[in-house]
Amino acid sequence: MSGWSHRHVLDLAAFSREDFAAVLELAHRFRSLPVTGARKLPALQGRLVASLFFEPSTRTRSSFELAAKRLSADVQSFSPSSSSLSKGESVLDTARTYVAMGADVLVVRHRSTGVPEQLASALDQAGDRTVVLNGGDGLHSHPSQGLLDLYTLARYFDPAHPLPEVLQGKRVAIVGDILHSRVARSNLWALTACGVDVVLCGPPSLVPAAFAQFVEEPPPGQALDPVPHRGRITVERTLEQALPGADAVMTLRLQKERMGQQLLTTLNRYHQDFGLTRDRLALCGADVPVLHPGPVNRGVEMASEVLDDSAICLVEEQVRNGVPIRMALLYLMAAADSSLVSINS
C-alpha cells in the first residue's frame, strides 16, 4: 500500500483524496473476505492493539476490537471505572502503561478534545514506535466514523466500485447538532474532499453560520490542505430549504451530554422542526438513503418509521461497514509502523 504516510490517524483534515481511496479500497477487499470465526487474516499476528476508551462506546470500541481480532492481533481492553484512573493515575501514564506492555496501536477515545493528539506527541517525543488511532475526541474528530460513513455512501451509490469518485458532485444534507458533533466535523473533511456539496441544517444554536467556512483553512498545526478542490458547504435553517435535491441525508444525535446550557426548548419541539419523517424525506424529491452514526435518540432525530425501514435507513449498514473500515486503518497503520504484511484469505 504505497503512498500511505500517516503514522497516527487523528483527524481527516490531513487526508488527501488518495488516502480516502486507499482506505475505502482496502476496506472493500476486507468486506468481501470470509473472515469470521476461525478464519482470521494473519496480517497483525504478534501485534498488540490496546483499546483505551475513556468515554463510553458501543459501536466504535466493539468494531475496533473485532477488526483487530480479525487481523489476528492481540487485543487489550481497558475499563476506566475499574482502572487506576480512580486512584489518580493520569491519562498519559495510563497510556504509557499499555505502551510498556508492548502495545503497537492505541485506539483512544476521550471526552476532551486533543487527548489522542497529546498522547501521539508524547509518544513521538519519547521515540516510542506505538501509533495512536483517534476513536473520537471531544467535539473535534471521529475519523473512523467519517471513513465508514464515506464508505457506506460510496457503496450505496456504486456497490461494485465504492471509491471517492462515485461521490463527486453529490449533495448530502447533514441535519441537527453540528456544533457538538465530532462526527459532523470528520464528515465535512471527508465528504468535501471527495467533491460532495454539503448542506448543514439546524437552528443557529446548533449550526452556527460560520460552519459554511469550516474547510476553508486547515486546522491549527497543519500547514496545507492536501485536497486542492473541495465541495462547498452551505447552511440552511429549515428542512424545506435543505432537503430538496439532496442525494442522501445524515442526521446526528443531539449531544445532550455535551450541551453546556439548555439550547433547545424541548426534544418534542426539535422533532417537530428537524426530525426526519417519511413526509419530510419526500422533500428530497426521490427515495434517498438516511444515515445516522448512532446511538439514535429514537423519535427525536428521526421517527421510527424511518429508522426501522431498512430500504432507506443505512444505520445498520454503517455499523457493518465499521469493521472493514477499522481493519483497513489498523492494517495501514501497522504496516506503516514496520514491515508490510500481505493479505492472505
Does 268 engage in binding with ligand CP (CB under 6 A)?
Answer: no
Among all chains, which residue has been given the C-alpha cell 422542526? 273
Does 80 engage in binding with ligand CP (CB under 6 A)?
Answer: no
Taken as a whole, the chain contains a residue count of: 345
With CB under 6 A as the contact rule, the residue among 51, 60, 141, 152 that binds ligand CP is 60
- Regarding beta strands 197-201 and 171-175, do their DSSP bridges make them parallel or antiparallel, or are they unpaired? parallel
User: CA 239, 314, 64, 20 torsion: positive or negative?
Assistant: negative
Interface map 112-141 toward ligand CP (x if CB under 6 A) = ------------------------x-----
Q: How far is the CB of 198 from ligand CP (least distance, A)?
A: 19
Extended strands (E) in 54-114: 74-77, 105-110
Q: How far is the CB of 253 from ligand CP (least distance, A)?
A: 8
Which strand ranges, in their side-by-side order, compose the sheet holding 197-201?
A: 233-236, 197-201, 171-175, 248-251, 290-291
CA distance 313 to 226: 32
Q: Mind giving me the DSSP string for 110-130?
A: ESSTTHHHHHHHHHHHHT---
Cβ closer to ligand CP: 57 or 234?
57
Region of 10-18, 35-43, 112-120, 288-296 interacting with ligand CP (CB under 6 A): 288-296
With CB under 6 A as the contact rule, the residue among 7, 29, 59, 111 that binds ligand CP is 59
With CB under 6 A as the contact rule, the residue among 154, 293, 296, 323 that binds ligand CP is 293
Region of 42-50, 55-63, 77-85, 155-163 interacting with ligand CP (CB under 6 A): 55-63
CA distance 190 to 171: 13
Contact 208, 180 (CB under 8 A): no
Cβ closer to ligand CP: 169 or 295?
295
Does 58 engage in binding with ligand CP (CB under 6 A)?
Answer: yes
With CB under 6 A as the contact rule, the residue among 57, 72, 234, 255 that binds ligand CP is 57
Interacting residues with ligand CP (CB under 6 A): 57-61, 136, 145, 293-295
